[in-house]
Amino acid sequence: MARTLQLRRNDAGIAAASGILAQRFGARFQTGRSLREQHGHTTTWIDNQPPDAVILPRTTQEVQDIVRICADHRTPIIPFGTGTSLEGHVNAPLGGICLDFSEMDKVLEVHAEDMDCRVQPGVTRKALNEHLRATGLFFPIDPGADASLGGMAATRASGTNAVRYGTMKDAVLGLRAVLPSGEVMTTARRARKTSAGYDLTRLLVGSEGTLGLLTELTLKLHGIPEAMSSAVCSFPTVEAACNAVIATLQLGLPVARMELMDAASVAAVNAYSKLSLPETPLLLLEFHGSHDSVAEQARVFGEIAADNASTAFDWTADAEARNRLWQARHDAYWASLQIRPGAQAISTDVCVPISHLADCVTRAQAKAEDMGLLAPVLGHAGDGNFHMLLLVDRSDPRECATSEDFVAWLAELAISYDGTCTGEHGIGQGKMGYLEAELGGEALSVMAAVKRAVDPLNIFNPGKIVDPAR
């Protein structure tokens, strides 16, 4: 079960650090209640735990100054990108200072010939791709929300393109980070590979702000494909759709996106986005390449789908039609809210080996129905990752408890399939309780030792991922 660490506030230290920072940063240091609550935003059943203040740094030097002041007074620091994380990552269980990186939003360098760039953490993925448009390059990691790149690295984000382009751990070449000591660390240069010491880049990617505050990221870019096509393929069951996914991957078809939607999600998307997709389980795909190759990929996939009992298949290279389909996919969260007006959506994710995806999804659907929960399914089928969106009445304590029990059951189910309790949402506060079952006590002890060594005062995003006192 998920848990929150029992930790103590340092009221005197927070007050002292706040006084110094208020004088130093003026209007960029804010303590208004509504702003603080926005920066303690969480979309789990975890209560909002706002920081005591929000500060907006603009340079690495300013971040260093903030860290040193907070370290002197043992005041917690919680980094904040755009607030789209889903497991209580930006909550402040001990209070403290929220560092909002939205004003560190510059693209610092683009090396088109090397297909990489250097950015500040507040740059969002859409802003980066807009900046890159004239270069013929793009950044492919797409978690759906227009998240900040610093936040995406901190949570090891993924998304719809992961089946072809990987996740943030594959996209980050190097980082510049401020450590809890106030010193700045560079984890790697721009080379595409290195054997120089410990892989500090991968240590910080996914560390959720518990080890370092990312102030610069060097990112791998890709060429914009000559052509793209999208396909929609319907199936009678989730199992049939997943079997088509397995066959596609085994054949080596270079699919860029391969998304699974169950019948409930399709019905919601149809109503919200004014589409007329068959309301049965479906796969939404995208192919990248030359004009001829994307047509050939779509044709081959159509044959695979037919071999797996597909009931409808349609593909298009028309940009407007493609964009409409993928916008509808990205709007699935809002569409699902219409299934139960007034409910709050709690999104949870797990990831399993592809061969277990169908069984895991169908068992999860049956369990949710048995527990009386409405929970549409969306999945990044190409890598075995799927989401369930629990539509919950937060005013009903029993319903909230049932939802939490379901999330725990689903995490345990995924782990039993040799999978993970989270494919891309991260641990934060919400999934701390499942890490030991997934990785074992030894792994958690190593994580705790790293945390103690790097952050002995436990001021960087305390109460997340692992208990340093373990």
Q: What is the CATH number of the domain that holds 385?
A: 3.30.70.2740
Question: 114 and 216: one domain?
Answer: yes
pLDDT value, residue 286: 96
Number of domains in the chain: 4
Residue 6 counted as domain residue: no
- pLDDT at residue 144 is higher than 90: no
Question: What does the alpha-carbon distance between residue 242 and residue 309 come to, in Å, rounded to a whole number?
Answer: 11
- pLDDT at residue 71 is higher than 60: yes
Residue 451 counted as domain residue: no
Question: 250 and 155: one domain?
Answer: no
Residue 217 in tokens: 């990221």
182: left (phi over 0), alpha (psi -120 to 50) or beta: left
Residue 42 in tokens: 């969480």
- pLDDT at residue 5 is higher than 80: no
- pLDDT at residue 6 is higher than 70: no
Question: Of the candidates 329, 351, 379, which is a domain's last residue?
Answer: 329
What's the CA dihedral at 440, 442, 443, 445 to 10 degrees? 120
Question: Of the candidates 48, 74, 102, which is a domain's last residue?
Answer: 102
Question: 412 and 345: one domain?
Answer: yes
Question: 232 and 151: one domain?
Answer: no
Which domain CATH number covers 50? 3.30.43.10
Residue 365 counted as domain residue: yes
Question: 212 and 237: one domain?
Answer: no
Question: 215 and 119: one domain?
Answer: yes
Task: Specify whether the CB–CB gap between 56 and 77 falls below 8 A.
Answer: no
Q: How many helices (H) and strands (E) does the chain have?
A: 17, 18
Residue type, 258: M
Question: What does the alpha-carbon distance between residue 65 and residue 88 come to, in Å, rounded to a whole number?
Answer: 26
Which domain CATH number covers 260? 3.30.70.3450
Residue 442 counted as domain residue: no
pLDDT tens digits along 97-111: 999 999 999 999 999
Residue 391 counted as domain residue: yes
For residues 433-460, average pLDDT = 97
Question: 282 and 247: one domain?
Answer: yes
Question: 168 and 192: one domain?
Answer: yes
What rounded mean pLDDT belongs to the chain? 95
- pLDDT at residue 4 is higher than 80: no
Geometric angle at alpha carbon 176, from 201 and 7, rounded to 5°: 80
Its pTM stands at 0.94
Residue 70 in tokens: 């907070």
Residue type, 198: Y
pLDDT tens digits along 33-66: 999 999 997 777 788 999 999 999 999 999 999 9
| Site of tokens 């705790």 | 448
Residue 140 counted as domain residue: yes
Question: 233 and 278: one domain?
Answer: yes
**Percentage with pLDDT > 70 across the chain:** 98
pLDDT value, residue 3: 40
pLDDT tens digits along 169-226: 999 999 999 999 999 999 999 999 999 999 999 999 999 999 999 999 999 999 999 9
Question: 249 and 323: one domain?
Answer: yes
Residue 443 counted as domain residue: no
Residue 243 counted as domain residue: yes
Question: Of the candidates 223, 254, 269, which is a domain's last residue?
Answer: 223
Q: Give the list of residues 6+ apart from residue 316 with CB closer than 8 angstroms, or none.
A: 229, 230, 231, 322
- pLDDT at residue 278 is higher than 90: yes
- pLDDT at residue 314 is higher than 60: yes
Which domain CATH number covers 141? 3.30.465.10
Question: 377 and 394: one domain?
Answer: yes
pLDDT value, residue 7: 66
For residues 441-455, average pLDDT = 97
Question: 260 and 213: one domain?
Answer: no
Domain hosting 18: range is 11-102
For residues 396-414, average pLDDT = 95
- pLDDT at residue 264 is higher than 60: yes
For residue 380, the 8-state DSSP code is E
